[in-house]
């Protein structure tokens, strides 16, 4: 299971803050006698940069695992939508994040479709019901939720 890659995605998206990844790692430490060193490093990581350094080696190893078959930029958007649904991000911030993700440097597959782009602009202009946004982003949020569940129930 590409758990380190899932951890990277949830942290990069901003869905988990420092206290959450530290708590997650602490629970693993308390529930297991033998862990890989990266788990301890995650527990002590004080910021996102330290966390990324702590998991860098393991993340690269997981990339070659056949189970690591997800597109991180799209899952990050899924986490943004979860943040919006949970009231941790307002609609204007969600649109700001989506606009940041839709530039030429983004690898998010969501924005490959011209129809998707037109729909986002229409929603932003108030021309389309917000339910269209749900139809567009809910599949990505479902993938993000599955990764979150995998993290929460992970036992090394």
pTM given for the model:
0.83
Spatial separation of the C-alpha atoms in residues 7 and 58, rounded to whole Å: 11
Q: Render pLDDT for 60-112 as a digit per residue (tens, 0 to 9).
A: 888 777 666 678 888 999 999 999 999 999 887 887 787 666 554 455 556 65
Question: Checking phi first, is residue 126 left (phi over 0); if not, alpha (psi -120 to 50) or beta?
Answer: left
Annotated domain spans of the chain: 1-156
């Amino acid at each position: 299971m590409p758990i380190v890659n899932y951890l990277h995605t949830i942290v990069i998206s901003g869905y988990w803050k420092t206290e959450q990844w530290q708590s997650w790692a602490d629970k693993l430490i308390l529930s297991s006698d033998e862990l890989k060193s990266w788990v301890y490093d995650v527990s002590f990581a004080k910021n996102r940069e330290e966390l990324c350094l702590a998991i860098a080696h393991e993340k690269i190893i997981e990339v070659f695992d056949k189970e690591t078959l997800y597109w991180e930029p799209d899952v990050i958007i899924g986490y943004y939508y979860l943040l919006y649904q949970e009231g941790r991000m307002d609609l204007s911030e969600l649109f700001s994040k989506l606009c940041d993700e839709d530039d030429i440097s983004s690898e998010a597959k969501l924005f490959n479709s011209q129809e998707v782009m037109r729909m986002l602009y229409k929603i932003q202009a108030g021309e389309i019901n917000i339910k269209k946004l749900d139809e567009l982003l809910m599949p990505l949020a479902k993938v993000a939720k599955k990764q979150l569940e995998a993290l929460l129930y992970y036992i090394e």
